[in-house]
Chain A
Amino acid sequence: MDLTFEPDHEQFRAEARAWLSANVPHEPLPSLDTATGFEAHRRWEARLFEDRWSVVSWPIAYGGRDVGIMEWLVFEEEYYRARAPKRVSQNGIFLLAPTLLDYGTEAQKERFLLPMASGQEIWCQGWSEPDAGSDLAGIRSRAVRNSDDDGWLLSGQKTWASRGAFADWCFGIFRTDPEAERHRGLTYFLIQMDSPGVTVRPIPQIDGETGFAEIFFDNVEVPDHQVLGEVGAGWSVAMSTAGSERGLSLRSPARYTEAAARLVELFDQRGRPALASDAVARAYIDAEAYRLHTYWTATKVARGHKVGAEASCNKIFWSETDVAIHENALALLGPTAELLEAGAPGEWLDGYLFSLAGPIYAGTNEIQRNVVAERLLGLPRA
């Protein structure tokens, strides 16, 4: 056991820190859930890509630096420390990409990874449907063979697609065999959003911005080479993506340790109120525990262990820690917490609204608790 970083990791950290401090915009970008903000964030992705900082853990051929998971975590620590912009391409680079690298054909990797890394093509996720949320296997959107038998025709409706309002591409699961058992007749598709038959209806969120959208598919033609994995194997391919979403790659610990450090600063600035101290300490400790748990898991991953149902523990913990950090900050701000001011109060309020989505997306925490109980503790399914 050695919880220090090797000298070359520290060297990597120094390099990342220097680049970020020279390049992170001084003024925060406009919200990525607006049309102008989306484009500003896309340009930021291009800037990262130019100097090979957008996808450090990817192979060099796809724009990465081919570094290990520890360096990736170091980069993330520096990224959040620098308070760099949110990653508009996160659905692609953090969720789809690991699945593409595992299940994609060489041609698919060639086609999709570089434009994903550069922000040229931004991805959204097309999973949930009006009647298939927690019960994801209940999806009804269908795909049938086209008349030339060289592709598929997609029909149906997806909803709550994050980045859906402005994205260029969508990855989604559709039912290709209505006769098969629910988990078996599904197929994973990669769909261009400007294909004929795709209609996007942005959905304003509680903050009024259109972070997600409904997507309607009306006989959308998708060629065979845009099927990811085997036809009918969509569920297991999707679960690999879900593992990334719940586990290590979507929510790196730096995000929480940075927010927790700012919470402690706020607690200090507000005169260290005794009433708040226990909850502030708890939030700080939980963020740190999440960081430690990540290094614990990363060591296992570096040794070839696959993250399984433990990812569900992660998802519950990071999402609830995030809510707690922001609730505590708003409690410290007291009557000023409701003000949408630039700077501290507005940022905490923004962060709070964002944190509240965490226990819902990527599989609600209730579903995660079922997974923990059934797969880690061996309790029987209902």
Chain B
Amino acid sequence: MDFAFDEQQDELRQTVRQALGREFPTTALRTFHQAGPDDRAALADARWSLLSSLGAPGILVPESAEGLGLSDVDLVGVLEEAGWSALPEPLLETAGLAAPMLAALLPAPPAAAALDALMSGAAPLAVGGIDVGLDGPSSPTTVSADGMLRTPRVVGALRASVFLLACRDLDSGWQLHAVPAAVCTVHPTPALDEARDLSTVQWPLSSDTLLAYGVAAEASVGLMADRGAAGSAAILIGLADRMITMAADYAKERRQFGHPIGSFQAVKHLLADARVKLEFARPATYRAAWSLATAQPTVSRDASMAKAMASDAAELAARVALQVHGAIGYTWECDLQFFMKRTWSLAKAWGDASTHRQLVLAQVLPTRPSTR
């Protein structure tokens, strides 16, 4: 039993924190949000090439395919840092979901081409077509009247050159496709957190883009759903940590009744509750990463447990941080909003807390209900 990160893992996390802190402080986040489309694209390119220079997109890609050859236990700290800095780019979707899936399908040509695009560091991949519900993964992809497929809430579609898309029909089951941007039609979807870059994508179904189908696709989708839950849990942990830190800092500065508001027990206890929830969500999230890295039979349960705890912890942190900031926290001017909006998005993405609690329960109960 050794429940800790090694030096290399700590170092990678520190490197990412310093790089993002230096190149991407909250002022840059604000600039990004207020910029026009062209400036925004330039800022996004700069950030992604920074992350690529650190090897982030290929963390889970084997060294034989030019990746870092590391594991989910290395990735989890990087994702936490992405949350701490409210990174707009779909790092989880690209590095956590697409990269290992594509690497596992090598040397099939569509997978190799998509992985090349990913490893080039030009832009993140767009990923969509998998939701998580009470029955496990499902696909929101539907067939339009013109025979094209239509996938809502695709992440990262505005800048990607390759779209990793899933669909499922009752007869033939799951299919995974790597679709070139050129054949996709992208309709951006306004969302609470603009930086999430969500779109509805129309795409043609073609055997040329097929990565996997049937049992193989189902296994890949299952693993992507687990990684989606565990990875978004890691980002939520980082967000929660940041919001609690911001609120505690504010509570030390802001004075009322002649004292810093942080000296009042009513304020202390709000923040303490958020801190306690974060404290216990953290090891659950790290355990999910370890279970993924070592392909434990309990991986789905462990990912669900992490997502249930991290969603709750981050939503409480957001709620508390807003309350502690008071009216200023309710303004566009206060940076807190960026972190809250990302939290509200991710807390529901890849299955919300109560969905994952049901998924945990389903896995710890005996398969057949006991008779009364």
Using a CB–CB distance below 8 Å, which chain A residues touch chain B?
1-6, 9, 70, 264, 267-272, 277-278, 280-282, 284-286, 288-290, 292-293, 295-296, 298-300, 303, 310, 313, 316-317, 366, 368-370, 372-374, 376-382
Considering the chains assembled together, what is the distance between the CA atoms of A372 and B264 in angstroms?
13
Q: How far is it, in angstroms, between the C-alpha of A366 and the C-alpha of B276 when the chains are bound?
A: 13
CA distance A258 to B140 in the complex (A): 39
Once bound together, how far apart are the Cα atoms of A231 and B260, in whole Å?
37
When C-beta atoms are compared, the residue in chain B nearest to A314 turns out to be B279
| B residues in contact with A379, CB < 8 Å | 248, 251-252, 260, 262-263, 267-268, 271
Q: Which of B252, B272, B361 has the most CB of A within 10 A?
A: B272
Q: How many A-B residue pairs have CB under 8 A?
A: 156
Residues from chain A with Cβ under 8 Å of B276 in the complex: 313, 316-317, 372
Whole-angstrom CA separation of A300 from B286 in the bound complex = 15
List CB contacts (< 8 Å) of B218-274 with chain A.
Answer: 244, 248, 251-252, 259-260, 262-265, 267-269, 271-273
Q: Is A289 a contact partner of B283 (Cβ separation < 8 A)?
A: yes
Closest Cβ neighbor of A71 among chain B residues: B1
With a CB–CB cut-off of 8 A, which chain B residues contact A295? 1, 3, 283
User: In the complex, are the beta carbons of B269 and A285 less than 8 A apart?
Assistant: no
A377 to B263, CA, bound (A): 12
Q: Which residue of B lies closest to A381 (CB)?
A: B263
Known contacts A6-B1, A299-B1: A369-B283 contact under CB 8 Å: no
Beyond the given A4-B1, A377-B275, could you list 16 further A-B residue pairs with CB under 8 A, ordered by the A residue number? A1-B73, A2-B2, A3-B2, A3-B291, A5-B1, A278-B354, A281-B308, A281-B360, A285-B284, A292-B283, A292-B287, A293-B283, A296-B4, A296-B283, A299-B3, A377-B271
Q: Does B364 contact A (CB under 8 A)?
A: yes
Closest Cβ of chain A: how far from B183's Cβ, in Å? Answer: 42
Most buried by B among A269, A288, A379: A379
- Chain A interface helix/strand/loop/mixed: helix
Please give, as numbers and ranges, the residues of chain B lying within 8 Å of A370 by CB-CB distance: 265, 268-269, 272
Interface centre among B248, B276, B286 (most CB of A within 10 A): B276
**CB-based contact A286/B280 at 8 Å:** yes
Once A369-B272, A377-B248 are accepted as A-B contacts, the answer to whether A269 and B370 lie under 8 Å apart by CB is yes
Distance of A379 Cα from B276 Cα, bound (Å): 15
Contact partners of B284 in chain A: CB under 8 A:
285, 288-289, 292
Q: Are B3 and A271 in contact (CB under 8 A)?
A: no
- Cβ of B142 under 8 Å from chain A: no
* 13 A–B pairs (Cβ distance < 8 Å), ordered by A: A264-B365, A267-B365, A268-B370, A269-B370, A285-B305, A293-B279, A303-B4, A310-B279, A317-B276, A372-B275, A372-B276, A380-B252, A382-B259
Determine if B372 is an interface residue (Cβ-Cβ < 8 Å). yes
Q: Is B163 an interface residue (CB 8 A)?
A: no
Cα of A316 to Cα of B272 in the assembled complex, Å: 10
B268, A369: Cβ atoms closer than 8 Å = yes
CA distance A271 to B2 in the complex (A): 39
